[in-house]
C-alpha cells in the first residue's frame, strides 16, 4: 500500500504523486486517455506494445482537496486518492470506472477436492492474491469485451482469464483461461457508454471480470509495474481508436493476402503441391496462397529446404507463380542443436540464444529434437533474424508463418529462470514469455520489408498487444467440431475489438476429421473472416474444397468466388482499419450502441458497417433467427427489403449463408478472377442499394508502400433518394495513383428504371434481372435514375 498522499507536483501533463510509501504518476496522453503508473520494477515504462507514443495537446485543470486531487480534461475527470486509488468520471460527473471500496472477497469453494481429482475430474484452484492488483467496482449492468482470442461468449462478464501464452492442442473449451495470445485489454460497455483499460504488463497477468464476486472486477500481475491506460469513448468506436492509437494499427496488407489460402500439415513433396495447385485451377476455384508446413525443411532446420522433396526451391516457387500462386512457409523459433548447421553455429558464436542462469544456452525439445531459442528480446538477435528472412525471400517465398512461438516446447515449459538480455534490462522468462512471439514477428516483418520492399505478410500463432502492427493471426489448433465453428465468431470479434483487424481461424478445423456439412458452413464464415485459410492436420482426412462431394465443392466455389468479388470492399475496410483501428468483423453493438439487443449477439456480425452476416453454426440446422438492427435491410440473395429492429426467421439450406445489406449501401466489387493479379484491375462494379448514404472507396497499387507517399485514389460516392428518382454523385477526393480504373459500372440493385441520365444527358442502360446497370467514365460526376 502506498499510503497517504504527501504531496505532488505537475510537469506539463504529468502529475507526480509522492505517497508515504512510494510514488505514482498519472499522465494525460490525450483528453480521453490517462495513464496510471507505479514504478515497482522499472522507473520507466519499457513497453513492448507502445512505440513512439505522441502526447496530444490537452487542456488540463487540477484541483487539490484535503483527501484527493481532481485532474480534469475536456472529456474525463480523474480523481486521485490515498494509496493511488483513481476514479474516473465523465464531464457531467457520471461515474465511469471507480475503485472498489473494500478487499477481495471470493466465493467459498466447499469440500475436499482430492477425491474428485482422484477420479480425474478437473477442479479449479482457489483464488489467490497477486503482487499487483487493481480492484474496480461493478455496478451490475456492465458488459465486457476484448482479451483477444479467449474462448467463451462475446460478453466476458463472469469470466476469469490469465495472460500466459500457451500451446495446448487439446480441444479448446469455454473454461480455458489461457490460449496462444496475451492481449491484456478489455472494453466495458455500461449505460450506453464505453471505456477501455489496457494493462501494459508482460508478466503473467490475471483478469477476473466478476467471477469471484459480482461486486467487483480486478486485474493484476505477478511482477512488473502497475501500468494501465484508461481509455474513454464514450462510443465503442472511440475506445478502439484510442487503444490502437497507443498500441498501433493493422497496416494495409497486399491484396493477394486477402484471397483464399490453402494449407495442410503437410503438402510435400513438390508433386503434391503442384497437384493441389492444378486442382484449384481446373476446378475453377480461386486461390492465391499455398502453405508449406514443417516437412519442407531439411530435418526441421529453419531457413533450409529438403532438397529431395524440393530439388530446386526457386524453380518450384516460380512454377507456382506462373499459375498465380504465392508460397508461404512456416518458420519456428526452435533452432536445431546441430554443429555445422549455419543458423546454430552463428547463434552460438554470437551469443544469440536464451541461456540458463549460468549463461549456458538453454536447450529443450521441439520438432528438430534438441533445440535452442533465439533471444528475440535483444535487438542484435532481432536484426540477425530479420536478415535471415532473405534466405526465404530469395527462394521465392512470399510470406512467413511463425508458429510454435509461445514458445512451445516438448520437455516441459521453459523454466522461469531462463535468461534474456531484454535490450539492456536483463530479465528472465517470466517477463519475456508473453512477448516472445511478438518480438519474433517484429523481426520477421522488418526483414521481409527490407528484402522485398513490399508490405510484408506475416502470420503468427502467439502474440501480445501491439503485434497487429507486424502480423496477422489465427486462433491456433482448433478442431473440426461444430462447437469450434460456433466459438470462432466471438473469438474473432473479440480479437478485432482488441486491435487485431487481420485475423482468422483454420477453416474446416485443424484436428479431427471434417465433414461435408461442417466445411460447407465453415467456408461461409471464412468468406467474411479477414484471413481466409483452410488448414488441416497430418493424418486427418483431406479437407480441400473438392475433398468430399460435388455439392460441397460447389458451395466452396460459391463462397470463395463471393470473397473475390468483394475484395475491393474488404480492401476499403483494411484502409479504414489502418486509419482508425476499426476491425473488419464487428459485433453489432459497435454501430448500434443505443440498441441493447445487440450487446450479446454471439452468432452474427457486421462486415464493415454495410453488411450483416448471420451464418449457420449448428449441425443439421437449415433456418435461424436473425436480429436486424433498426433501419431497412436487403437480403443479399433474394433482394427482399426487410424492416429491421426485430428478429426475422430465415430459411438457410446448406448452400445459403444469410447476408443482409443495409439500405443506402454502395458495395464496390470486382469481376471474377482465379487469383489477385490475374487481370488488370481496370473495371470496378458498384452495387448500389437504394437509400440515402455515402461511401468512400480507396484504390492503390495493392502491394507497395507508395500509398504512404500519397500514391492512391479516393472516390466519394453519395446516394440521394428523392420522389421518383435516385441521384448518385461522384467526386474524386484524392488522385495521385495514375494506373487506376478505366471503367466503372453502376449496378442499381433491385430497381427497375424508366431512364438514366449521366451529367444531364440521357444514356443507355441494361436490365439484369431486377438490377439496372450503366457504365460510366471515371470523370462522370452525376447519375440520375428515374424510377
- Known catalytic residues are 403, 406, 477
Residues in the chain: 787
What are the grid coordinates assigned to 637, written together? 440473395
In sign, the C-alpha dihedral spanning 699, 705, 708, 710 is: negative
Q: 269, 275, 230: which is closest to 134 by C-alpha?
A: 230
Q: How far apart are CA 64 and CA 70, in angstroms?
A: 6
Give the position of cell 494493462. Answer: 199
Q: Which residues pair with 685 in a beta bridge?
A: 669, 745
In this structure, are residues 620 and 516 in contact, taking their beta carbons and an 8 Å threshold?
Answer: no
Q: Does residue 463 contact residue 471 with C-beta atoms inside 8 Å?
A: yes
Pairing mode, strands 289-292 and 261-262: parallel
Three-state DSSP at 515 gives coil
Enter the C-alpha cell of residue 563.
470473397
Helices of type H across 395-504? 429-432, 436-452, 482-497
Sheet strand arrangement including 632-635: 585-586, 605-607, 611-613, 659-662, 632-635, 641-643
Tell me the C-alpha distance between 389 and 331, whole Å: 10
Q: Using alpha carbons, list the distances in angstroms from residue 256 to 124, 262, 571.
A: 45, 13, 10
Q: How far apart are CA 733 and CA 712, in angstroms?
A: 10
Reduced to 3 states (helix: H, G, I; strand: E, B; else coil), residue 581 is: coil
* CA-based end-to-end distance of the chain: 72
What dihedral do alpha carbons 341, 344, 347, 353 form, nearest 10°?
A: 180
What HEC string does 263-315 produce? CCCCCCCHHHHHHHHHHHHHCCCCCCEEEECHHHCECCECCCCCCCCCCCHHH
Q: Tell me how far apart the alpha carbons of residues 184 and 494 are, in angstroms, rounded to a whole number.
A: 12
> Which cell goes with 388?
535471415
Amino acid at each position: 500500500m502506498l499510503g497517504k498522499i504527501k504531496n505532488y507536483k505537475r510537469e506539463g501533463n504529468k502529475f507526480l504523486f509522492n505517497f508515504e510509501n512510494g510514488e505514482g504518476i498519472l499522465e494525460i496522453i490525450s483528453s480521453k486517455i490517462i495513464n496510471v503508473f507505479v514504478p515497482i520494477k522499472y522507473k520507466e515504462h519499457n513497453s513492448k506494445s507502445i512505440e513512439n507514443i505522441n502526447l496530444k495537446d490537452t487542456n488540463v485543470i487540477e484541483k487539490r482537496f484535503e483527501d484527493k486531487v481532481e485532474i480534469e480534461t475536456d472529456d474525463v475527470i480523474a480523481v486521485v486518492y490515498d494509496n493511488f486509488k483513481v476514479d474516473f468520471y465523465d464531464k457531467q460527473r457520471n461515474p465511469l470506472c471507480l475503485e472498489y471500496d473494500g478487499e477481495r472477497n471470493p466465493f467459498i469453494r466447499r469440500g475436499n477436492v482430492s477425491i474428485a481429482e482422484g477420479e480425474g475430474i478437473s477442479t479449479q484452484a482457489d483464488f489467490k492474491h497477486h503482487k499487483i492488483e487493481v480492484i474496480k467496482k461493478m455496478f451490475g449492468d456492465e458488459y465486457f469485451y476484448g482479451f483477444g482470442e479467449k474462448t467463451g461468449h462475446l460478453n466476458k462478464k463472469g469470466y476469469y482469464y490469465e495472460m500466459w501464452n500457451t500451446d495446448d492442442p487439446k480441444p479448446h473449451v469455454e473454461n480455458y483461461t489461457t490460449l496462444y495470445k496475451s492481449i491484456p485489454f478489455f472494453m466495458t460497455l455500461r449505460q450506453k457508454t464505453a471505456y477501455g483499460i489496457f494493462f501494459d504488463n508482460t508478466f503473467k497477468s490475471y483478469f477476473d471480470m466478476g467471477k469471484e464476486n459480482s461486486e467487483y472486477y480486478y486485474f493484476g500481475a505477478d511482477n512488473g509495474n502497475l501500468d494501465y491506460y484508461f481509455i474513454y469513448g464514450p462510443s465503442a468506436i472511440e475506445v478502439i481508436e484510442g487503444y490502437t492509437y497507443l498500441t498501433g494499427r493493422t497496416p494495409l496488407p497486399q491484396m493477394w493476402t486477402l484471397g483464399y489460402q490453402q494449407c495442410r500439415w503437410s503438402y510435400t513433396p513438390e508433386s503434391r503441391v503442384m497437384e493441389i495447385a492444378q486442382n484449384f485451377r481446373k476446378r475453377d476455384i480461386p486461390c492465391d496462397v499455398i502453405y508449406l508446413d514443417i516437412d519442407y525443411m531439411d530435418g526441421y532446420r529453419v531457413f533450409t529446404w529438403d532438397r529431395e522433396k524440393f530439388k530446386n526451391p526457386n524453380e518450384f516457387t516460380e512454377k507456382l507463380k506462373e499459375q498465380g500462386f504465392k508460397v508461404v512457409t512456416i518458420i519456428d523459433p526452435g533452432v536445431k542443436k546441430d554443429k555445422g548447421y549455419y543458423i546454430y553455429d552463428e547463434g552460438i558464436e554470437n551469443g544469440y540464444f536464451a541461456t540458463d542462469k549460468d549463461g549456458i544456452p538453454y536447450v529443450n525439445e521441439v520438432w528438430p529434437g534438441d533445440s535452442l531459442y533465439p533471444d528475440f528480446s535483444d535487438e542484435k538477435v532481432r536484426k540477425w533474424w530479420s536478415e535471415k528472412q532473405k534466405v526465404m525471400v530469395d527462394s521465392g517465398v512470399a510470406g512467413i508463418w511463425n508458429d510454435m512461438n509461445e514458445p512451445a516446447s516438448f520437455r516441459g515449459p521453459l523454466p522461469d529462470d531462463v535468461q534474456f538480455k531484454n535490450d539492456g534490462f536483463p530479465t528472465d522468462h517470466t517477463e519475456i514469455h508473453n512477448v516472445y512471439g511478438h518480438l519474433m514477428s517484429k523481426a520477421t516483418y522488418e526483414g521481409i520489408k527490407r528484402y522485398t520492399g513490399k508490405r510484408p505478410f506475416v502470420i503468427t500463432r502467439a502474440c501480445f498487444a501491439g503485434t497487429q502492427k507486424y502480423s496477422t493471426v489465427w486462433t491456433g489448433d482448433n478442431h473440426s467440431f461444430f462447437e469450434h465453428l460456433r466459438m470462432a465468431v466471438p473469438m474473432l470479434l473479440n480479437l478485432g475489438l482488441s486491435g487485431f483487424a487481420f485475423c482468422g481461424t483454420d477453416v474446416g478445423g485443424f484436428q479431427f476429421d471434417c465433414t461435408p456439412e461442417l466445411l460447407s458452413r465453415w467456408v461461409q464464415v471464412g468468406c467474411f473472416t479477414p484471413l481466409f485459410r483452410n488448414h488441416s492436420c497430418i493424418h486427418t482426412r483431406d479437407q480441400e474444397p473438392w475433398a468430399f462431394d460435388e455439392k460441397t465443392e460447389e458451395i466452396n466455389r460459391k463462397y470463395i468466388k463471393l470473397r473475390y468479388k468483394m475484395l475491393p470492399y474488404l480492401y476499403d475496410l483494411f484502409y479504414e482499419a489502418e486509419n482508425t483501428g476499426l476491425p473488419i468483423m464487428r459485433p453489432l453493438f459497435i454501430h448500434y450502441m443505443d440498441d441493447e439487443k445487440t450487446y450479446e449477439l454471439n452468432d452474427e456480425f457486421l462486415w464493415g458497417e454495410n453488411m450483416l452476416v448471420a451464418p449457420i453454426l449448428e449441425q443439421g440446422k437449415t433456418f435461424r433467427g436473425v436480429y436486424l438492427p433498426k433501419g431497412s435491410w436487403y437480403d443479399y440473395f433474394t433482394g427482399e427489403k426487410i424492416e429491421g429492429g426485430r428478429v426475422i426467421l430465415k430459411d438457410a439450406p446448406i448452400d445459403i449463408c444469410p447476408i443482409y445489406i443495409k439500405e443506402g449501401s454502395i458495395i464496390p466489387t470486382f469481376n471474377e478472377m482465379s487469383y489477385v493479379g490475374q487481370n488488370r484491375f481496370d473495371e470496378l462494379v458498384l452495387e448500389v442499394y437504394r437509400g440515402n448514404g455515402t461511401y468512400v472507396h480507396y484504390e492503390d497499387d495493392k502491394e507497395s508502400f507508395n500509398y504512404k507517399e500519397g500514391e492512391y485514389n479516393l472516390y466519394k460516392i453519395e446516394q440521394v433518394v428523392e420522389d421518383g428518382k435516385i441521384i448518385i454523385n461522384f467526386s474524386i477526393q484524392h488522385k495521385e495513383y495514375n494506373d487506376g480504373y478505366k471503367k466503372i459500372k453502376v449496378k442499381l440493385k433491385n430497381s427497375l428504371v424508366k431512364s438514366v441520365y449521366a451529367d444531364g444527358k440521357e444514356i443507355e442502360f441494361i436490365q439484369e434481372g431486377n438490377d439496372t446497370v450503366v457504365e460510366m467514365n471515371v470523370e462522370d460526376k452525376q447519375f440520375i435514375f428515374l424510377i
